[in-house]
Structure 1
Amino acid sequence: MRIGIAGIAIESSTFSPHRTRLDDFHVTRGDELLGRYDFLAPGKPLTEGVEWVPLLHARAVPGGPVVPEVYDELAAEIYERLGEAGQLDGVFVDMHGAMSVIGRTDIEADLVAGIRRIVGPDVLLSTGMDLHGNMSRELIGLLDLATCYRKAPHTDAWDTKERAARNLVARLRSAGRPLKAWVQVPVLLPGEKTSTRIEPAKSIYAQVDEVEAMDGVLDAAIWVGYAWADEPRCQAAVVVMGDDEQVITAQAKRLADAYWDAHDKFEFVAPTGTLGECLDQALASTARPFYISDSGDNPTAGGAGDTSWTLDKLLRMPAITESELTTIYAAIVDPEVTTAAMEAGVGATISVEVGGKIDSEPCGPVALTGRVTGIDTTAGAVALAVGGLHVIVTMRRKPYHIESDFVALGLAPRDADLVIVKIGYLEPELYAMAADWLLALTPGGVNQDLISLGHHGIDRPMFPFDPDMPDPDLTPELI
């Protein structure tokens, strides 16, 4: 059998002033695309009797909405390559599920509709999405098979993609299209309140594995939805697939009920506070390294990455800049400053204005005079020291989730006193490293205070926007 591979993957905050353009995407085709998937390497079970046909895949660090001409260009190439690929039995659609394009809604459904028009009604389409994606009625109606991550942080991302591919191959070889029981749950919460590390999400997602193991069920999934986009599709959703209509419908209802029953019980994954409160607690603590999440400008949730509000506060604190403490701030994007530091070289002192050039609210560029202590040409990043404060500045929007990225700049986060990172919940390496951790509620395009952002395009009533809303009808629709 022949199965195509295509997709566009990005998480887009419609509240971020950043705009995602073509150079923000890493685009792969042909052998490079096929090489992304270890489970499709020669000799793996999923390659027996299957020709995988790599078409085009584009992925980007989460950011602001994609400009329409960029989406149109990428989608057009996918469609062109599909048309030239010859007869296909299936398509593995590798996408995130929370892409937004300026002026449009439910763009993943638009992408899949275009694929469906080209391959026709008989070809099976399968996807494995991020649980922070959105599963609309239109999208699930276009897809034959759909699943999503069951862990946040996403330690099962590649397992989910493999499961989507495995389900597709299995159904092509045997039973064909499964039935799908789908229901939306009118709840929209940030990932920092729905981490599967803690309750109630931990127990709710444990039920997904139980449902999948039942006779008559092929797969089960719960989408949290994406909180920082303003579209009707943005809400939680459940899909259970299989061949037993009664079982999958009952189990979709079970999962939807479990999510709704806990809708007002979700809490942040770590203790929270204002930036000032978090810094006071960190400075008073003996736990080292002490991590603080600068959550409002988290680039892996869609933040612009150059919000300078937190950096401005740090530079004004003698307890940070004029003490013997070592504080790392990771990171802020500013290509002009990064270039200037690289040209000056390690050991040079430069005076620059950093950040606040994409997202100028609530703070514009910040004046900084610092010594260049590290340059990472591969990543396009520099470290600038202002007393004990080490500020990472990057050429492009870049998350700092792994220790080696710090080390490449000559920084040792394990030996630091404070590490302040533009992130939501800590990714596994940082989580394991942190002696203590707080989540600072800071401003930015992915502000945790959803009510303040001004959603107007979502379906209402919806929790937490309508805290006293009545219990919804969670009867699944069989598709």
Structure 2
Amino acid sequence: MRVFTAALATETNTFSPIAVDKRAFEASLYARPGEHPATPTLCTAPITVGREVCAREGWTLIEGSASWADPAGLVARATYEELRDEILEQLRAALPVDAVVMGLHGAMVAQGYDDCEGDLLARVREIVGPDVLVCAELDPHSHLTRKRVTAADFLVAFKEFPHTDFVDRARDLWAIAVRTLKGEIKPVMSVFDPRMIDVFPTSRQPMRGFVDQLYALEKSEPNLLSLSVIHGFMAGDVPEMGTKIIALTDDREDLGDTLAERLGRELFAKRGTFMVPQVNEAEAVEQAMAATSGPVVIADVWDNPGGGTAGDATVILADLIRRGISDVAVGTIWDPIAVQICFAAGEDAEIPLRFGAKSAPHTGNPIDRLVRVNRLVRDAQMRFGDSYAPFGDAAWISFDGIDVILNSTRAQSFDPSLFSALGIDPKSRKILLIKSTNHFYDSFSKIAFEIIYCAAGKPYPNKPAETAYRKAPRNIWPIVEDPWGA
């Protein structure tokens, strides 16, 4: 067997002012054929898992390029077309192939392209024809369009949020592909639209129990190959935005249709109960101050670079400063210019510095302080499960008992190693202020005395009923209260 694999991924917040060009991919991951590292990024696990599988099966794996950019705004048209066409040319050169296994995100939007993944998969299908297997792994924070469902034989999405299972789901993808290529099964996709958009963390109920049910059904239900929940991405203003259920069966469309609808209606019945309760910045700081031990983690959930924001909001930090609170470590605030200034000054320098709150309205005001530059690190990285996430050149500055990590490559706070990478012991601080919606939970919960979810400012359109969508469907909850017209 000859199998082609490649990856092209980012998550596009169409409301974000941060445009994405090829430099954004190069800052996060741009690997030409054969250059992909041994460890995967979030959406490139099909490549690294594919190496294991094809070596075991004695098959030939032809690797194309792998590109990943940290979430931001619209991708430049020329950038998307260049990266897409690079993969398509590699595929043409690899022909004939028996299968194409892709690593995608599912929420990429470029200038002129509302459905990048649908466009890419349709072009892949055009090249290989109707009889070659085409499949892909998706992030659940994506859009499931008719175009990509038509183009692919099957799709598998991560189940967990935080996405601790992206390698496991790549193994599922490959296991189904192998059985299909050997003629053991015939995958058929069923899709149900529960007409909603919500946030579904699996670190708490009721989504924890819902996902556990999916695992149980996959083990117990004959002819069921895979179940996926496409959460949807509410900051992507595209025509098919919203939650979807995928049931993949072995030639049992009737079973898949029944399961997908049953599970979709169960999700709809629990709408509005999934997200962790959040407090404002004043309540978050009060609660952290009242804690009897530490570290207390304050998660700035909506200034999350993983959702396409800048990660430079200062609303919570300003409240901490105003109250004179110390023993705080902040990781991170994105400010490439401030980082450059710190590198120019050098370690141990004391300099006046303005940083943060430069990207957009409703993110607070820049902070002006006389700071000490404690540590400078080129190409800093933190752990994220089995992978590493770069956050660029970084500077550890301090003032008034507060430590702040400034970074030059936007990245959400995945893991406490973002602090230790700069020489800060995160367990030694009373308060850790981080930027993430829920991906932080798996690792930070292991060291936190308490976790506080804080909604501060308005850097992210997190209330769909109030968001000024232009393209998104209007017949989904909570944009309308009763999309079923009961």
Question: 1:289-300 to 2 correspondence within 5 Å?
Answer: 289-300=295-306
- What is the deviation of 1:240? 1.1
- What is the deviation of 1:151? 1.0
Question: 1:141-290 to 2 correspondence within 5 Å?
Answer: 141-175=150-184, 177-190=186-199, 194-213=200-219, 214-242=221-249, 243-266=251-274, 268-269=275-276, 271-290=277-296
Q: Deviations over 1:227-271 (max 9, x none)?
A: 1111122111111122123222221122112111212432x32x4
Alpha carbons of 1:40 and 1:116: their partners in 2 closer, same or farther (altered >3 Å)? closer
More deviation, 288-297/26-35? 26-35
Whole-angstrom distance in 1 between the partners of 2:397 and 2:339: 10
State percent identity of aligned pairs.
Answer: 26
Whole-angstrom distance in 2 between the partners of 1:46 and 1:439: 44
- What is the deviation of 1:28? 1.4
- What is the deviation of 1:441? 0.7
Q: Deviations over 1:422-453 (max 9, x none)?
A: 11123311121111111111234434334343
Choose the corresponding residue for 2:427, options 414, 418, 428: 414
Whole-angstrom distance in 2 between the partners of 1:430 and 1:206: 22
Match in the other structure for 2:102:
93
Match in the other structure for 2:370:
369
Are positions 1:464 and 2:478 aligned together?
Answer: yes
Match in the other structure for 1:338:
339
Match in the other structure for 1:52:
61
Code of the aligned partner of 1:138? K
- What is the deviation of 1:408? 2.1
Whole-angstrom distance in 2 between the partners of 1:369 and 1:398: 26
Choose the corresponding residue for 1:119, options 125, 128, 152: 128
Equivalent residues of 2:194, 2:264 under 8 A apart: yes
Alpha carbons of 1:154 and 1:252: their partners in 2 closer, same or farther (altered >3 Å)? same
Are positions 1:29 and 2:32 aligned together?
Answer: yes
Code of the aligned partner of 2:254? Q
Whole-angstrom distance in 2 between the partners of 1:138 and 1:40: 25
Equivalent residues of 1:15, 1:445 under 8 A apart: no
Q: SS where residue 82 of structure 2 aligns?
A: helix
Match in the other structure for 1:348:
349
Return 5+ residue gaps in structure 2 as ranges. Answer: 41-46, 381-392
Are positions 1:428 and 2:428 aligned together?
Answer: no
Q: Deviations over 1:296-347 (max 9, x none)?
A: 21011211222344444443x1422xxxx31011111112211111221222
Equivalent residues of 1:124, 1:177 under 8 A apart: no
TM-score under structure 1 length normalisation: 0.91
Whole-angstrom distance in 2 between the partners of 1:40 and 1:461: 40
Q: SS where residue 117 of structure 1 aligns?
A: helix
More deviation, 301-310/275-284? 301-310
Code of the aligned partner of 1:53? I
Q: SS where residue 258 of structure 1 aligns?
A: helix
Alpha carbons of 1:347 and 1:33: their partners in 2 closer, same or farther (altered >3 Å)? closer
Match in the other structure for 2:389:
none
Query: What is the root-mean-square deviation in Å for CA atoms of aligned residues?
Result: 2.0
Choose the corresponding residue for 1:301, options 302, 307, 320: 307
- What is the deviation of 1:45? 6.8
Whole-angstrom distance in 2 between the partners of 1:155 and 1:71: 27
Code of the aligned partner of 1:27? Y
Q: SS where residue 302 of structure 2 aligns?
A: helix
Choose the corresponding residue for 1:319, options 318, 321, 324: 324
Whole-angstrom distance in 2 between the partners of 1:465 and 1:455: 10
Alpha carbons of 1:53 and 1:64: their partners in 2 closer, same or farther (altered >3 Å)? same
Match in the other structure for 1:476:
none
Q: SS where residue 93 of structure 1 aligns?
A: strand
Return 5+ residue gaps in structure 1 as ranges. Answer: 473-479
Aligned pairs, number: 461
Alpha carbons of 1:209 and 1:408: their partners in 2 closer, same or farther (altered >3 Å)? closer
Whole-angstrom distance in 2 between the partners of 1:356 and 1:463: 32
Match in the other structure for 1:387:
400
Q: SS where residue 368 of structure 1 aligns?
A: strand
Whole-angstrom distance in 2 between the partners of 1:67 and 1:416: 41
Code of the aligned partner of 1:235? G
- What is the deviation of 1:402? 2.0
Whole-angstrom distance in 2 between the partners of 1:465 and 1:377: 45
Are positions 1:449 and 2:463 aligned together?
Answer: yes
- What is the deviation of 1:125? 0.7
Whole-angstrom distance in 2 between the partners of 1:414 and 1:378: 23
- What is the deviation of 1:360? 4.5
Code of the aligned partner of 2:347? V
Q: SS where residue 249 of structure 1 aligns?
A: helix
Q: Deviations over 1:351-394 (max 9, x none)?
A: 12212333254445432321112222231111111111111111
Equivalent residues of 1:15, 1:228 under 8 A apart: yes
Q: Deviations over 1:110-158 (max 9, x none)?
A: 1111111111221111111111122122211111011111111111111
Whole-angstrom distance in 2 between the partners of 1:302 and 1:16: 6
Q: SS where residue 7 of structure 2 aligns?
A: strand
- What is the deviation of 1:176? 6.0
Alpha carbons of 1:347 and 1:378: their partners in 2 closer, same or farther (altered >3 Å)? same
More deviation, 121-130/456-465? 456-465
Alpha carbons of 1:292 and 1:448: their partners in 2 closer, same or farther (altered >3 Å)? farther
Equivalent residues of 2:153, 2:187 under 8 A apart: yes
Whole-angstrom distance in 1 between the partners of 2:87 and 2:162: 30
Alpha carbons of 1:38 and 1:105: their partners in 2 closer, same or farther (altered >3 Å)? closer
- What is the deviation of 1:467? 2.3
Equivalent residues of 2:299, 2:437 under 8 A apart: yes
Q: Deviations over 1:147-174 (max 9, x none)?
A: 1111111111111112112211210111
Equivalent residues of 1:441, 1:448 under 8 A apart: no
Whole-angstrom distance in 2 between the partners of 1:362 and 1:423: 15
